[in-house]
Chains A and B, each alone.
Chain A
Amino acid sequence: MSILILFVPMAIGISLVFLLAFIWAARQRQFEDLETPAHRILFDD
């Protein structure tokens, strides 16, 4: 079961990558406006 020594840090690591990505996104104000983006994609093709 020593594989867990590799595994648990890696699962936490991947989660951490996404956590940092989330923090980055939030600070980039990606989530300020949760209405217009949904509409905007419909305009242009």
Chain B
Amino acid sequence: MIANPSINQPLSDQDGVMETFTYDDRIVRWFAYATMAWGLIAFLAGLIIAFQLAFWPLNLDMPWMTFGRLRPLHTNAAIFAFACNAVFMGIYHSTQRLLKARMYSDWLSQIHFWGWQLIIVVGAITLLMGYTTGKEYAELEWPIDIAITVVWVAFAVNFFGTLFKRRERHIYVAIWFYIATIVTVAILHIVNSLALPVSFLQSYPVYAGVQDALVQWWYGHNAVAFVLTTPFLGLMYYYVPKAANRPVYSYRLSIIHFWALVFMYIWAGPHHLLNTALPEWAQTVGIVFSIMLWAPSWGGMINGLLTLRGAWDRLRTEPVLKYFVAALTFYGMATFEGPLLSIRAVNALSHYTDWTIAHVHGGTLGWNGLLTFAILYYLVPRLWNTKLYSNKLADAHFWLAVSGTGIYMLSMWAAGITQGLMWQALNAEGQLTYPDFIVTVTRIVPLYWVRGIGGTLFLLGFLVMLWNMYKTIQSGQIETPKVRQGRRLVPLDRLGADHMGDQPHRVLEGLPMLFSVLTVIAVLIGSVISIIPALTVQEFLPADKTYRPYTPLELAGRDIYVREGCYTCHSQMIRVSLDETMRYGPPSKLAESQYDRPFQWGSKRTGPDLARVGQKYPDMWHYRHMNNPRDIVPQSIMPNYPWLLSDSLDFEALGNKLQVMQTLGVPYSDAEIIGASQQAQEQAAGVAARLREGGVTDPDLETKEILALIAYLQRMGQKESVQP
């Protein structure tokens, strides 16, 4: 009577077809190698720039060795080379085991690996050459951005393909964290990187001023959330139970942790722009969500730590567990500090100071670094079928890393709070106690040395680990992958009546992959549709026509400002507070940055704010200052920029730059675009004439880059060019 028993008779998970398969551990080993290699580069670059702040001659008067170019190299290497490769290593290893399936395509795995390494190499070279978008943690230029998108899509297809053909019905919580990472990073990266190319390695963002600031920090905050937090939490939820050999303290809590995090994180970005010209209500949204984030973050930390209940004695003998415990502790500290720093009053003190630097390094060195080391110590012996070469060396590394991080954070907390209080200090007459910015810098330079010592210890520990890993790998051998058996999953709607829900739900669950893909496409299309009006309609610009766009020469100078990474030490955003108004002038207004692509509000003041530096000093002051800042401010720690005085400016390229700006909605007339080069040369001649009066004898002065930079600096805070 029953034609097809498989339709009408209830099946169970035991009825799936038995299959054999192996795991691809070669790709995991490759990512492990990459993690260790790039870690060395990232930490070394960090150490160099740390000492550059303590001892300025280390900038070596060479363009590619200056702080402004090395600092983006350090952050990009730490986040996208070291941390990302660690994440890929852990995801490729744990996903296969959690889903009981080999990665969907070995070919895609290879594309992912080699593509990512190529991006890192090209990124490092272009950053050192000065090709940068000038947006923190998103500095790589547009061709590399496209490559990142392509490789990320390859990763996503590979991952979701594996998820689709999994042999384990339940999706373990770690996988959810990976899914959130892959989906959200794609959206963040694409939205923040939208730009119009000017040339092969230069572009202007489609957003300007406050819009660019908001998009950038929405990205910047969520890069921390979805590159340095969610994937590492996923890894934590897999590797801590594995290393401790006991289930996570509360699986239920881990599920709540995940869903709470992904719903809240996306809203917290504005806390990077507190007390600025950003509307107050938008700031408040950022604050509220930041403080709410404290709860799920600490829930996760406690869940990880309590997983070790009853196993605390093993910390004495197993270095891996010690690393996990310390990493989770740093996660707890950083996620407590984050909401704290998001409170307006605290932020007024901490922002632009080294307190922020202390905070991020607590997260990256303490949480991401130690967790990565823990996973390496856990994985490498297993991947090479051997034992760790030396537990003692692993122990030594642990103490070097933890003390190094501790010294780093303590010194930068002290430096940040000291400098913040000095900036705010008023004397009995109501005047600034420290009107000279440089006094607040020299006060904390000793702490920069201390920070350098902390970084040295951390790097030394890492070198100890590399030696330990080298000896471990040498003693091991790669075995042929073990052949495993598992059953193919039976579709849920064929599992029998007791598993079935109502009709619409059955339709949905048959198409989970298609469903999620369609949803993501819908979101992306929606995003694009919302962006287009912002690009084309004039009303979308915060129009204050009393401000004139930059002249061609000023625009060229601005590009130099971006190229040299001036934003890594100077802000262009005077906040709403008494001391800042007294020190720098009236608070910045949104209209002042309406033509700024990219915005250069900055996030750190190693030097003073520059929003109103225009017309404050004569041209000759800037000329001498850029050649050697110590000719003007003897204690200055700023690098020399002698090449700006000797390199020639490409005047012919300016027409094209104006053209792109016009396309983006900046009100340049066609005549201005055609005459850009000539107008720039005229303005440059004016600057040059003033410099010659000051005693500059360079015969080719009229063609030099420095003229453009001076023109831009003199324009800051002015409604239009002042040309006496």
Contacts and interface: CB of A to CB of B under 8 A. Distances in A.
Given A22-B259, A33-B170, A10 B191 contact: yes
A41 B246 CA distance: 10
A6 B534 contact: yes
Given A14-B266, A20-B519, A39-B247, A31 B255 contact: yes
> What are the 8 tightest A-B residue pairs by CB atom distance, in nearest-first order?
A38-B247, A3-B211, A38-B251, A6-B530, A2-B540, A13-B523, A34-B252, A34-B251
Interface string A1-42: 111111101110111111111101101111101110111111
B62 interface: no
Given A6-B527, A39-B247, A41-B242, A27 B172 contact: no
A2 to B, nearest CB: 4
B492 A28 contact: yes
Contacts of A3: 207, 210-211, 214-215, 534
A5 B530 contact: yes
B247 A34 contact: no
A44 B97 contact: yes
B180 interface: yes
A42 B542 CA distance: 57
Nearest to B511: A24
A24 to B, nearest CB: 6
Interface string B229-261: 000000000100110011110011001000100
Contacts of A16: 519, 523
Contact of B266 (A6, A11, A27): A11
Interface of B: 97-98, 100, 168, 170-173, 176, 179-180, 183-184, 187, 191, 207, 210-211, 214-215, 218, 238, 241-242, 245-248, 251-252, 255, 259, 262-263, 266-267, 279, 282, 382, 484, 492, 499, 501, 505, 508-509, 512, 515-516, 519-520, 523, 526-527, 530-531, 533-534, 539-542, 590
B530 A41 contact: no
Contacts of A4: 214, 282
A33 B499 CA distance: 14
13 contacts: A4-B214, A5-B534, A10-B523, A11-B267, A13-B527, A15-B266, A19-B263, A24-B515, A34-B251, A37-B172, A38-B248, A41-B247, A45-B97
Interface of A: 1-7, 9-11, 13-22, 24-25, 27-31, 33-35, 37-42, 44-45
B717 to A, nearest CB: 22
A28 to B, nearest CB: 6
Is the contact region of chain A dominated by helix, strand, or loop, or is it mixed?
A: helix
B509 A27 contact: yes
A4 B247 CA distance: 43
Contacts of B262: 18
A29 B499 contact: yes
Nearest to A21: B516
B252 A1 contact: no
B247 A2 contact: no
A28 B241 CA distance: 25
Nearest to B501: A27
Given A1-B279, A3-B210, A6-B531, A30 B171 contact: yes
Contact of A41 (B184, B241, B501, B534): B241
Nearest to B516: A21
